[in-house]
Structure 1
Amino acid sequence: MPLSTKDIPLHTEAEQLVYIVDDDEALRDSLIWLLESTGLKAHAFSSAEAFLAAWHANMRGCLVLDIRMPGMSGLEMHERLIAMHSALPVIFITGHGDVPMAVSALKKGAVDFIEKPFNDQDMVALIRNALATEQKQFELHRQEADAQRRIDQLTPREREVLELIVAGRLNKQIADDLGISIKTVEVHRARVMEKMGVNSLAELVQHVMISAPKGE
């Protein structure tokens, strides 16, 4: 039986779940059985409202979402999730005549859609692709957060040295730029490398690039 919203655990960062949102109980139950038979974990909801009541920003995995439902539609729910900056990839389940709406949803960030009646293997393949996409995004965000955390640990002087290192300045040039000795630059440089957890200039530049706001 699908679990109620109160049964949903807080997720560890390693746990991915497939969230099924569909008003058709038979379809929910069959999808739960299908996914669990392939080793995937899933939770089902009978409405968009029920899912949104349980949603939190730390959810991992993907969404399988019916495009048409009583009350709030799947499209409306997708819009809400976009506004809340949800990172869950969305696969829409569509009926006859819903393809134009599904295409519109793809343009707004949904990862795919599948028409009823669908092939079980096709559905599982779409879900596995969506989970792989979410895993990559999660790892990227974790790397960004780690790089920024390390930069935040630097002292103001170490940040100045870091910026000049990344700009390609040599130790003597950094010493002249900051009005300090080369020996002091070397000490700051060693501390920067240690705090950033890197062993080479290339790694240091990569960490700084990862932490930089997108668009810079």
Structure 2
Amino acid sequence: MQHDATVHVIDDDQAVRESLAFLLQSVRIPAVVHESASSFLTSLTTGQNGCIITDIRMPDISGIDLLRRIKDLNVPMPVIVITGHGDVPLAVEAMKLGAFDFLEKPFDDEAMITTVRLALNRAKQAEKASADRADLGKRITSLSSRERDVLNGLIAGHSNKVIAANLSISPRTVEIYRANVMTKMQAESLSELVRMAITAGLAGSD
């Protein structure tokens, strides 16, 4: 079961993290605070979604190191980095490591809220895309070996006649398998089937 989308505020400065949490909660965005990257990583559980706000300069694990850990752990939450004056090189490094955005101190409250909402929207889209891929994977798994062969032929752009010749079966039999594929994949057109194949990473299969 997944948790509600939550903003995780990570900063070793108590005043900063509490003021950020108050700001977000004032516009009805759930937020929890962590005094260090270590405490956040310790509390991390499967299925969490939302986004992360982290200071770039912290003792123990820095914001940059946290980004590396998050990348290694495949944590899907977008990361917003807070940087101090003169930390532009670190901010650029953070973006290269996959940070969603960075804001320089002192940041504008509205800018922070806008950035958080964009990050949460990105996270929601990524979550939906992941669920869609998982659903497509189940549909593909439901195909028989021969139906999968026909699917591969279709997404390769082959006609029923060519698929039939390649598989040493009749075009009529290909039509039957093709109808089964469309039904099982829940595709209403060939173009929709191709889009599904691309999403599932099947495009280019032989």
Equivalent residue letter for 2:67: H
Once the 2 structures are TM-superposed, how far is the Cα of residue 143 of structure 1 from its aligned partner? Answer: 2.2
Once the 2 structures are TM-superposed, how far is the Cα of residue 173 of structure 1 from its aligned partner? Answer: 3.0
Post-superposition Cα deviations, 1:158-200, rounded to whole Å, max 9, x if no partner, equal 0011111222333233223222233322221111111101111
Contact 2:77–2:123, Cα closer than 8 Å, also in 1: yes
Of residues 126, 146, 149, the one that matches 1:160 is 149
Post-superposition Cα deviations, 1:110-143, rounded to whole Å, max 9, x if no partner, equal 1211122221111101111111222222222222
Q: Following superposition of structure 1 onto structure 2, how do residues 46-125 of structure 1 map, counting pairs within 5 Å?
A: 46-125=35-114
Q: 1:183, 1:64 → 2: CA distance?
A: 58
- Give 1:132's aligned residue: 121
Equivalent residue letter for 1:71: D
Change (3 A) 1:135 1:215: farther
Instruction: Identify unmatched segments of 5+ residues in structure 2.
Output: none
Q: 1:166, 1:52 → 2: CA distance?
A: 42
Change (3 A) 1:196 1:214: closer
Contact 2:194–2:203, Cα closer than 8 Å, also in 1: no
Equivalent residue letter for 2:2: H
Once the 2 structures are TM-superposed, how far is the Cα of residue 58 of structure 1 from its aligned partner? Answer: 2.3
Contact 2:155–2:204, Cα closer than 8 Å, also in 1: no
Secondary structure in 2 matching 1:43: strand
What root-mean-square deviation, in Å, do the aligned CA atoms of Structure 1 and Structure 2 show?
Answer: 2.0
Once the 2 structures are TM-superposed, how far is the Cα of residue 11 of structure 1 from its aligned partner? Answer: 2.5
- Give 1:11's aligned residue: 2
Change (3 A) 1:175 1:215: closer
Q: 1:213, 1:88 → 2: CA distance?
A: 26
Matched pairs, number: 205
Post-superposition Cα deviations, 1:10-35, rounded to whole Å, max 9, x if no partner, equal 624xx311110111222222211211
- Give 2:165's aligned residue: 176
Instruction: Identify unmatched segments of 5+ residues in structure 1.
Output: 1-9
Give TM-score scaled by structure 1 length: 0.87
Q: Following superposition of structure 1 onto structure 2, how do residues 189-204 of structure 1 map, counting pairs within 5 Å?
A: 189-204=178-193
Give TM-score scaled by structure 2 length: 0.91
Q: 1:106, 1:182 → 2: CA distance?
A: 52
Secondary structure in 1 matching 2:42: helix
Secondary structure in 1 matching 2:154: helix
Change (3 A) 1:184 1:214: closer
Identity %: 43
Equivalent residue letter for 1:30: S
